[in-house]
Structure 1
Amino acid sequence: MFNLSLKALLSAVLVLAFSIGSSLAMAQVQKFNLSNGTINAEITPDIGGRLLSFSLKDQPNFLLVGDLAALDTRAQPSPTSPHISYMGHEVWLGPQSEWWVHQNLNAERAAKKAVWPPDPYLAIARNTVLEQSAEKVLLKSAESSISGVQLVKAYAFIPDRKNSLKLQVRATNIRKEDIAWDLWFNTRVASNTNVYVPVANAADIRQQLMTSDAVDPLTYSLNDGIFALDFLPPTQGKAMRKGKLMIQPSQGWIASFSGKQLFIIQFPLQPQSAIHPEQGQVELYNEYNPENLQAGIMELEVHAPYKKLAPKEFMIAEETWTLVEYKGAATRNAQLEFLRAHAAELGLR
């Protein structure tokens, strides 16, 4: 009897050890830290080669990241892979309506013209590390049998701009026939982050409604050429506000405030004709519930021009990220005053 109990105990210990080991394996995402004494960035070659953290020194992460300890960070991509909410910053392709129509590996998603999940070979697969130093990380994605592209991503400090990080992506057509896509930067931040976008006219904003019995649409203001979300609580009986805004900006930047940090994303401004008609050069996706902010999300999205690529041809898109210390009030007036006062030095034209 004693021996049987000991065997049972040893078996339980082994099961527990295996369980703990599996959990640790999930959490052990390889990370590269970039730091220049002013800003810090954390990049992983795993889970699509995404950016996990961006902050001023001694300030919290500005990005919203999934619970990597609870998620499968060693998931292998396949044509049937589900979406996994790693969040942070990643790169997609646009338009979203064509994500699954140019492949024959998942007939069901092709027939439905599925708009979810994103390409698992770009979102989940481990990237190859081409270069890694204290100033730069260069990653190469898997070749995607879904989208027909391979991505190379560069994250690097800008020598004469101590507060800034350059993000550059190259997409190459790996197929034997032409393909057409845009490059789509997607950056997740907290759901109540104050976001401002320069917009010339109300007609340059359109909303993709996602209303239901439990969801209200987003609300926003446009004053003196600056767009801002209003963050009104949902009406009685509704659980949240939710939607996506497609924006044609008048200048190439997005500014967002959280705590003591101002985060600016700059990008080459494109004419509306260069952007796929189903998308906007700037897109903001927001799920907002003031009673449960942690359950929501804000996505700061930027689309590069939609282009046709011949076999082996490539296209490049880039963003410049900048962080600035902000000591003012958490009000729209104070934040806009700060932006206008520092527009020249921040390159907001």
Structure 2
Amino acid sequence: MKVLSWISVLLGLAGAFATCGKSQIDELATKACTVKETTFHGWKSFSLENGLVKLDIVPAIGGRIMSYNLGDYPFLYVKEAEFGKLYKAPESETQRVWHNYGGYKTWPAPQSRWGGPPDPLGSFLDGGRYTGRIVQQGEEVVEVEVVSPKDTLIGIQFTRSTLLRKGTTRVILKQKMTNVVNKAVTWSIWDVTQVRGKLREDLSGQKVTHNSGAWAYFPLNPKSIHPKGFIRLDGKPNDSQWYPNIRAGIFGIQYQFHKSKVGADVTDGWIAYVNQLDNYVFVQRFTYFPEKEYPDGGCSAEIWTDPNFPYMETEVLSPLVTLQPGESYSFDVEWVACRCAGPVIAVNDYGVVSQHLSLKKDSDSTSISGIFGVYTPGQAVLIGKDEKENVLVTEKLGTVSPFEMLTLNRTISLPQEVTTLEIAILNLQGERIGLLDKLAITGDNHGHSG
């Protein structure tokens, strides 16, 4: 059977960046990684870059990652009043003050047993002077490691490596805690990231506390231990910021400068922050361990909204782990970034989904639609298959980039033999990286993504 090329797709590219041509995509995907010792707003720091994203790590302020930028766009909240400042460890309770620098840090959970922030007297995990070193320094990959002081009060020492590869916005955070005392200790590794709640200034000169476009999302567990799929950890019940099931199975929070905290047993392993004014997405991905115990009533992900400063915290927690003297436990978290609209309703290895690939048939036309973001520069291809998985048609859609939202919205001509549509991402050599979305065409003239 001869099948003619049957589809043409409009790629809608949104945002402040100009549409990337093939030469620009080539440059982005092949630019070498760099890492160097430098300064960040007055602190000694390490800078990691690959042409797509840039990170700045400051060991002396609790080993914090103080920036994660997609191009020039910053995702993380930083407190300007603390720039360049370092403080001596407190010697009394009256000297215990939390210096909230912003950025990302690693804490021990549960918080109720840790007692911070600020660090309890004699503890140094939040505000202590970490050491730092470059572990890998090559064109393909760079890596920086920070190590906390040995905290004999809490009983652990944190080690974290930040790894960045060429040609992707993906960052791997390899977090480890080690028992440094002569007794067993039980803790969770608690990943706390402050993201911006104020996205723009008011040009009229009025004071702006937040913007309505700052959102966070996580997928609800259909078999959750919590009756509603989530649990209130702080703030008012049924806070107006909360949107349970903003889409089917998705919990959303719109930052409104309220005090609140919500947690959930997120089994799908992602939490997303979205600037919906400008369509920037930052996702943290992690592994959920269903047989393990988690802190805070069984929470693997939590979101805090601050009422005093313009930020939210997207938080990832490992299972609670008991370590014997000298034992270690590792828990990795992956960061990815791209341009896409909200809400984020699905996350996979290759991109995010705001609207699944869908198909609609009328009496005289067939149309498809979908909204996506990708982590890696390359090419997008739409593939049509029959019920036996034979590829009938392959249509190149053009180049894709983390700097551009991928929007499909087009009337098509569809052969009856096609039962499945796929959007695949290829690298610049034409090799398949992976599947962005998939649509099974059903007999009711509509498609179903899965």
TM-score range, shorter chain: 0.7 to 0.9
Distance 2:49 2:187 in 1: 33
Q: TM-score, normalised by structure 1?
A: 0.74
Distance 2:55 2:258 in 1: 31
Partner of 2:9: none
Q: How much has 1:77 moved relative to structure 2?
A: 5.7
1:164 aligns with 2:177: no
Q: How much has 1:284 moved relative to structure 2?
A: 0.3
1:276-309 superposed Cα distances (whole Å, 9 cap, x missing partner) = 2445100000136xxxxx8332000000010111
Distance 1:87 1:321 in 2: 17
1:249 aligns with 2:266: yes
Distance 2:279 2:79 in 1: 22
Alpha carbons 1:95, 1:278 under 8 Å: kept: no
1:44 aligns with 2:58: yes
Q: How much has 1:48 moved relative to structure 2?
A: 0.6
* Structure 1: stretches of 5+ with no match in the other structure: 1-24, 101-114, 234-239, 289-293
The amino acid that maps onto 2:127 is I
Q: How much has 1:126 moved relative to structure 2?
A: 1.4
Distance 2:279 2:57 in 1: 23
Counterpart selection for 1:55 from 61, 69, 74: 69
Counterpart selection for 1:174 from 180, 188, 193: 180
Q: Secondary structure at the match of 2:112?
A: helix
Distance 2:174 2:90 in 1: 24
Distance 1:340 1:92 in 2: 35
1:248-279 superposed Cα distances (whole Å, 9 cap, x missing partner) = 11301112212342111110122274212445
The amino acid that maps onto 1:284 is I
Distance 1:309 1:208 in 2: 27
Alpha carbons 1:195, 1:229 under 8 Å: kept: yes
Partner of 1:204: 229
1:195 aligns with 2:220: no
Q: How does 1:268-347 map to 2 (within 5 A)?
A: 268-271=287-290, 273-278=292-297, 280-287=299-306, 295-326=309-340, 328=341, 336-337=354-355, 341=372, 345=435
The amino acid that maps onto 1:148 is G
1:29 aligns with 2:43: yes
Alpha carbons 1:254, 1:265 under 8 Å: kept: yes
Partner of 1:226: 250
Percent identity over the alignment is 22
1:128-157 superposed Cα distances (whole Å, 9 cap, x missing partner) = 124355511111111113211111110011
Aligned residues: 293
Q: How much has 1:45 moved relative to structure 2?
A: 1.1
The amino acid that maps onto 1:64 is Y
**Greater percentage in helix:** 1
Q: Secondary structure at the match of 2:124?
A: helix
* Structure 2: stretches of 5+ with no match in the other structure: 1-38, 198-212, 346-351, 357-369, 375-433, 438-449
Partner of 2:149: 142
Q: How much has 1:79 moved relative to structure 2?
A: 6.9
Distance 1:296 1:147 in 2: 30
1:76-130 superposed Cα distances (whole Å, 9 cap, x missing partner) = 3657432111120000001111114xxxxxxxxxxxxxx5434550111111124
Counterpart selection for 2:78 from 55, 58, 65: 65
Partner of 1:117: 118
Alpha carbons 2:59, 2:146 under 8 Å: kept: yes
Distance 1:177 1:42 in 2: 36
Partner of 2:112: 97
Q: Secondary structure at the match of 2:182?
A: coil
Distance 1:26 1:273 in 2: 39
Alpha carbons 1:77, 1:121 under 8 Å: kept: no
1:232-258 superposed Cα distances (whole Å, 9 cap, x missing partner) = x6xxxxxx5221001111301112212
Q: Secondary structure at the match of 1:46?
A: helix
1:199-222 superposed Cα distances (whole Å, 9 cap, x missing partner) = 13463201124249xx96642221
* Larger radius of gyration between Structure 1 and Structure 2: 2
The amino acid that maps onto 2:250 is I
Distance 1:154 1:346 in 2: 28
**Greater percentage in strand:** 2
Distance 2:286 2:371 in 1: 19
Distance 1:204 1:346 in 2: 27
Q: 1:77 to 1:278 in 2, by over 3 A?
A: farther
Distance 1:166 1:26 in 2: 21
Alpha carbons 1:197, 1:226 under 8 Å: kept: yes
Distance 1:28 1:230 in 2: 33
Distance 1:199 1:88 in 2: 26
Alpha carbons 1:169, 1:317 under 8 Å: kept: yes
Partner of 1:83: 98
Distance 2:75 2:236 in 1: 28
Q: How much is the aligned-residue C-alpha RMSD, in angstroms?
A: 3.3
Distance 2:105 2:304 in 1: 15
Distance 2:51 2:42 in 1: 26
Partner of 1:262: 281
